[in-house]
Chain A
Amino acid sequence: MSGTIAAATLPPSFDARAFEQFVSHRSEPTWLTERRRQAFSQFEELSHSSLDEEEWKRIDLRSFRPERYEIRNTLPAQSTFDLLLADRTEFGGRVTHIDGCTQASQLDGTLRKQGVIFGSLQDVLQAHPDLLQDYWMQRAVPNGRDRFSAWHAAFCTGGTVLYVPKGVDVEAPLYSFIGLASENAADLSHTLVILENGASATLLEETASANPDLSGLHIGAVELLVGDGAHLQYVQLQNWGTKVCHFAHQAGRVAGNGSLRWTVGGLGARIAHIHQDVFLDGPAAEAQVNGVTFASEKQLISYYTQQTHAAPFTRSDLLYKQVLRDRARGIWRGMIRVDEGAQKTDGYQRNDTLLLSGDSRADAIPGLEIEADDVRCTHGATAGRVDEEQIFYCMARGISEMEAKHMIVEGFFQTVLDRIPVEVVRETLNRAVEKKLGIERLQGV
């Protein structure tokens, strides 16, 4: 039932004619146009077959109407956003996109001199036509994985690219923003990060709608390529309005001795499904994945996470914390895969869910597939209501029931926030949670 989008014919805004028109308006290197064509035929094909049962069976797509959305070619006349991260710290550079069009892009001059490239996909393609050829949808997210990855590759509207040359340490965090400002606009933006060997960087990205009632679509892809001994911190805070549908393939690859610290915040969207992969390709590669999700009303937020250990002495550590309120639904399906040669691997995955209402629902399914014999892999999932004894204890100290619940929810998230080294991210997530809880902070802490 729910696994397939009824798409015997492609919606007019994403059919063959629309595609031809879309590519004809873009002056892109030939390799990219060709790749888009290939992706489009995959998109046609995959739209006729059903989605992977295992990944999609719990996600009800009946209310998802692809024909409703279309790609905009111009920036909206005016738009303002209530942003969580934008002005919180000094950034080394920033790129902003609205309705799939790049609005602004800027990079610190010193970083530029060091060979760091940070900008919109179009600008980077213009300046360095061949740089991305070996990377863009080649290593982390393949076009043909499913209809959403093919859709993304065919109609990719742009996105943010970060390239850090060998050994360069980008200290100040970089900022990327993806906004939706027009009714039914589609954003198919791509985030591509390439860290050469020994490089390091932090990229903070957030998504938002100009107003909470705007309907919109995001079909995204994130590719994080971390070289030998390189260190990347990446944060994506999904904070769309509650009428946006969000589908994304996000994958990171970490080479030997490299590390990836990846934090996802899932707060917005009506339906959000993210396929998140980390691949530990080289010996002693490490990945830490942090998830903070808070769904309310009728939101459905879903993650399909995979940690693949392909080399010995690799470590992965995933912790998701989700809070569900009202009639919200949270889905998490996790998998640790350990290849035959990946001995001495340490894999961990855990999902904890706190249910704030009787009508909310959580599915959390951890999984292991282990082919090596000398590994340590642990997994777990818990789901439960707020403990009445905790509420009573707080109340016995003069704290109101509501404030007690809010404290307990914030405390619940605290253990995952504690893992995030960037203070501004911790604070921002905390504020986002408080906002969602309805706590107006009138006086600073």
Chain B
Amino acid sequence: MGSLLQIENLHVSVEGKSILKGVQLEIRQGEIHALMGPNGSGKSTLAYALVGHPKYEVTAGKIEVDGVNLLDLDPNERARLGLFLAFQYPVVIPGVKVADFLRHAVSNIRKPDRKEGEGLIPMREFRKELRERMEALGMDTEFARRYLNEGFSGGEKKRMEILQMAMLKPKFAILDETDSGLDSDAVRVVSEGLQKLAGPDTGVLIITHHERLLEFNKPHHTHVMLGGRIVESGDSALAHKLHEEGYAEIRARHPQAAAENAAHEEALTATTAS
């Protein structure tokens, strides 16, 4: 039996505002889960809370990997336990080369007891591995020498997230809209890349509004988030149905959650407008 990521009755607030209101989810290594839901329903919030973003405060519930409580752990400790998030909006780290960044990251993940200044994985070995991974993802190896995400196009940033996943080989990978902003060739490359990576040793949570990523990576389970809760779950047919028909039916079946989601969406438009 592989590892198990357990999310139980999770409540999360951001800046004092309650966003997640009791999320229930279990992901096992080797499983693919799709998480769908309208804008502002709390999908990214769940992703951030899982990897331990300091702004996302867990007010109730638990997150565990094989019984180990993640809530007491810093993001880097969670990463060393095998959690990975492909960011919806990857961050630029000026002046830090992709290769240097990844060499540090990989060294920490593979040698969790490593201390700063020591035990970096050997350069040769690292370079070779990086080059192979980049080629497999159809990336120009020149990117290794560029500063992380600086001046990258939206699609390049997303590809860089997948490259990082490929190098770090997480037990649990959360992909937050990794397919958005990609042209159709790039979606294909990323989908195929993910398909190769997501074997029996990886549990994957794919957050998406599209279907392409799911074509290559057929979800075993699909969940719908609305107003900070998972309101319905099903198999891959549910993902397809939602994609075809939208969320009207779901909203109708869950009026309370729909109302709360609408409130968020209004707030969202208000902030973008101001």
Q: Is A398 in contact with B76, judged by CB distance below 8 angstroms?
A: yes
Contact with A along B161-174 (1 / 0, CB 8 A): 00010001000000
Assess A388 versus B54: contact at CB under 8 Å? Given A399-B105, A402-B116, A443-B119: yes
**Interface code A390-402, partner B: CB below 8 Å = 1, 0 otherwise?**
1011111111111
Per-residue 0/1 for A362-395: is the Cβ within 8 Å of any B Cβ (1 yes, 0 no)? Answer: 0000000000000000000000000111101111
Q: How far is the CA of A399 from the CA of B123 in the complex (A)?
A: 18
Output the residue of A390, A397, A413, A440 with the most chain B CB within 10 A. A397
Is there contact, CB below 8 Å, between B108 and A407? no
Which listed residue, A399, A401, A414, touches B108 by the CB 8 Å rule?
A399
B51 within 8 A of A: yes
- Contact: A397 with B93, CB < 8 Å? no
Interface residues of A in 407-440 (CB under 8 A from B): 407-408, 410-415, 439-440
| Residues of B contacting A403 in the complex (Cβ-Cβ under 8 angstroms) | 104, 108, 116
Which one of A394, A410, A443 has the highest number of Cβ atoms from chain B below 10 Å of its Cβ? A394
Chain A residue at minimal CB-CB distance from B92: A390
> With a CB–CB cut-off of 8 A, which chain A residues contact B16?
none
* Contact pattern, B 100-129, Cβ under 8 Å of A = 1, otherwise 0: 110011001100000011111001000000
Q: Which residues on B sit within 8 Å (CB–CB) of A412? A: 94-95
For A404, what are the chain B residues with a Cβ–Cβ distance below 8 Å?
Answer: 76
Check if A445 is an interface residue, CB within 8 A of chain B: yes
Known contacts: A410-B95, A414-B147. The answer to whether A397 contacts B164 by CB under 8 A is yes
List residues of A (321-349) whose CB comes within 8 Å of B's CBs.
none
Q: A423 to nearest B CB, angstroms?
A: 15
* Nearest chain B CB to A387 CB, angstrom units: 8
- B116 lies within 8 A of A406 (CB): yes
Q: Are A398 and B80 in contact (CB under 8 A)?
A: yes
Look across to chain B and name the residue whose beta carbon is closest to the beta carbon of A434. B117
**Complex Cα spacing A400 to B107, Å:** 12
Contacts of B53 in A (CB 8 A): 392, 396
- Kindly specify which of B64-72, B83-91, B134-142, B244-252 makes contact with the partner chain: B83-91
Instruction: Please give the distance in Å from B126's CB to the nearest CB on chain A.
Output: 11
Smallest CB separation, A411 vs chain B (Å):
3
- Inter-chain contacts of B119 with A (CB < 8 A): 443
Number of interface residues of B (CB under 8 A): 35
Q: How far is the CA of A412 from the CA of B93 in the complex (A)?
A: 9
Contact A401 B95 (CB under 8 A): no
Specify the chain B residue showing the minimal Cβ separation from A417. Answer: B95
A398 x B94 contact (CB < 8 A): no
Which residue of the partner chain, among A392, A401, A442, contacts B118 with CB atoms under 8 Å?
A442
Q: Is A26 interfacial (CB-CB < 8 Å)?
A: no
Q: Contacting A393 at CB < 8 Å: which of B91, B108, B147, B168?
A: B91
Question: Would you call B30 an interface residue if the criterion is a C-beta within 8 Å of the partner chain's C-beta atoms?
Answer: no
Which chain B residues border A443 with CB–CB below 8 Å?
117-120
Query: Is B213 positioned at the interface, with any CB of A under 8 Å from its CB?
Result: no
Known contacts A395-B75, A407-B93, A412-B94; is-contact A439 B116 (Cβ 8 Å): yes
Residue B262 lies at the interface, judged by CB distance under 8 Å to chain A: no
Chain B, Cβ-Cβ closest to A389 = B91
The residues of A that contact B108 with a CB separation of less than 8 Å are: 397-400, 403
Q: B25 at the A/B interface (Cβ < 8 Å)?
A: no
B96 and A411 form a contact (CB under 8 A): yes
**Complex alpha-carbon distance, A401 and B116, angstroms:** 11
Interface size range of chain A in the complex:
20 to 34
By a CB distance below 8 angstroms, the chain B residues around A113 are none
Contact in complex: B117, A397 (CB < 8 Å): no
Give CA–CA (A395, B77) in the complex, Å.
Answer: 8
* A235–B92 CA distance with the chains assembled, in angstroms: 31
Residue pair A398, B168 in contact (C-beta under 8 Å): yes
Tell me, in angstroms, the Cα distance from A387 to B96 when the chains sit together. 14
B139 CB to closest chain A CB (Å) equals 18
Considering the complex, give the chain A residue whose CB is closest to the CB of B119: A443
- Asked if B74 lies at the interface with its beta carbon under 8 angstroms from chain A, I say yes
Q: Is the CB of B74 within 8 A of A401?
A: yes
Kindly state whether residue B12 has any CB partner on chain A within 8 Å.
no
When distances are taken between beta carbons in the complex, the residues of chain B under 8 Å from A407 are 93, 96, 100-101, 104
Question: Which residues of A sit under 8 angstroms from B168, Cβ to Cβ?
Answer: 397-398
Which A residue sits closest to B94, measured CB to CB? A411
- The answer to whether A25 has its CB under 8 Å from any CB of chain B is no
Contacting pair B95 A397 (CB below 8 A): no
Please measure, in the bound complex, the distance between the C-alpha atom of A396 and the C-alpha atom of B92, giving whole angstroms. 14
Let me know if A441 is at the binding interface, CB within 8 A: yes
CB distance from B70 to the nearest CB of A (A): 13
CA–CA, A414 to B94, complex, Å?
Answer: 8
Tell me the minimal C-beta distance from A292 to chain B in angstroms. Answer: 12
Interface mask (B21-42 → A, CB under 8 Å = 1, otherwise 0): 0000000000000000000000
Q: Are B93 and A390 in contact (CB under 8 A)?
A: yes
B117 touches A439 (CB 8 A): yes
Complex: A387 Cα to B75 Cα, angstroms: 16
Q: When the two chains form their complex, are residues B76 and A415 in contact, meaning their CB atoms are under 8 A apart?
A: no
Contact B94 A400 (CB under 8 A): no
Residues of A within 8 A of B85 (CB): 396
CB neighbours of A400 from chain B (8 A): 74, 76, 108, 116
Of residues 157 through 209 on chain B, the ones whose CB sits less than 8 Å from some CB of chain A are 164, 168
Q: Which residues of A contact B120 (CB under 8 A)?
A: 443, 445
A397–B96 Cα distance when bound, in Å, is: 14
Please, which residues of chain B bring their CB within 8 A of the CB of A440? 117
Lowest 3 A-B CB distances belong to which pairs? Answer: A411-B95, A414-B95, A398-B108
B binding-site residues for A, Cβ under 8 Å:
51-54, 74-76, 78-80, 84-85, 87, 90-96, 100-101, 104-105, 108-109, 116-120, 123, 147, 164, 168
Q: Interface on A for B, CB 8 Å cutoff?
A: 387-390, 392-404, 406-408, 410-415, 439-443, 445
28 pairs, A vs B, C-beta closer than 8 Å:
A389-B91, A392-B75, A393-B90, A393-B93, A394-B76, A394-B105, A396-B85, A397-B76, A397-B105, A397-B164, A398-B76, A398-B168, A399-B104, A402-B116, A403-B104, A404-B76, A406-B116, A407-B93, A407-B101, A408-B93, A410-B95, A411-B93, A411-B147, A440-B117, A441-B117, A443-B118, A443-B119, A445-B123
Identify 15 new A-B residue pairs, CB closer than 8 A, beyond the known A387-B91, A399-B105, A407-B101.
Answer: A388-B54, A390-B93, A392-B54, A395-B74, A396-B76, A396-B78, A397-B101, A398-B80, A398-B168, A400-B76, A406-B116, A407-B93, A412-B95, A415-B95, A445-B120
